[in-house]
Amino acid sequence: MTDGLTEYALRLGDDSLILGQRLGEWCGHAPMLEVDLSLTNVALDLVGQATLFLGIAGDADKLAFHRDVLDFKNCLLVEQPNGDFAQTIARQFLFSNWQELLFRELTQSRNATLAAIAGKAVKEVAYHARLANEWMVRLGDGTAESRARIVNGLDWMWRFGDELFDVDDVVEPLIASGVAVDVRKLRGEWDQRIARTLSEATLEMPKPRRAAKGGRIGHHSEHLGHLLSEMQFLQRAYPGATW
């Protein structure tokens, strides 16, 4: 149970950590000040979540800054490059709507620590999802250029959505014991949420394609290595450095 819980906490923490790092890349580069502040605040929320989840698995700082790329357990979706603003929003749209459903259910976990973290985080993630949904509508039902960009962004990110609903031998016992969430049961509600927002944005649901998976077992895209080279630079260059 302990090993399974550690693995589960790593997956939850790594999702938030890596997406928080990605959004942090927008700081000072977003298309307007309001968006810059919004994305930065979302990034801070995610890093805060990561700190708590990784704290279950061990030393959060060491897990963030000293692990090799193959040891990270985040889903492939969150490590995808920002691209333009529309691509970033498409990634946030898919992930935050899933994460809100996940944390809502995780508040009922029999593990009191997981339940407490989820209880706080679900309020933050509800805002993340609302922000992304609103931007999907603004971009999809906006100008011809904004529409084309969000279509392209969603098309890029869509292949990574199926991995969010995978369950493996690590998580099955935790589900059976009431500790972990059975994400397979969230798929229908997530599909409805996605379809509802896309309809409001006058966008079509992307066509099904071969799913890209492997992040949960350390099989990542080339993008994660580049992200970690920046995120872990200080600890790699100056081992043992402290603030």
Domain extent for 72: 2-237
Residue 118 lies in a domain: yes
Tokens 């100008």, residue located? 143
Residue 242 lies in a domain: no
pLDDT band at 1 (very low <50, low <70, confident <90, very high): very low
105-124: average pLDDT: 98
Residue 243 lies in a domain: no
**What is the DSSP-derived secondary structure letter of residue 58?**
S
Q: How many domains does the chain have?
A: 1
Residue 63 lies in a domain: yes
CATH code at position 32:
1.20.1260.10
Residue 2 has pLDDT above 80, yes or no: no
Record the pTM. 0.95
For a pLDDT cut of 70, what percent of the chain falls above it?
99
160-213 pLDDT, tens per residue?
999 999 999 999 999 999 999 999 999 999 999 999 999 999 999 998 889 999
33-87 pLDDT, tens per residue?
777 788 999 999 999 999 999 999 999 999 999 999 999 999 999 999 999 999 9
Q: What span, in angstroms and rounded, lies between the C-alpha atoms of 150 and 63?
A: 34
Residue 205 lies in a domain: yes
Q: What span, in angstroms and rounded, lies between the C-alpha atoms of 120 and 129?
A: 15
CA dihedral 85, 86, 92, 93 (to 10 degrees): 150
Higher pLDDT, 29 or 92: 92
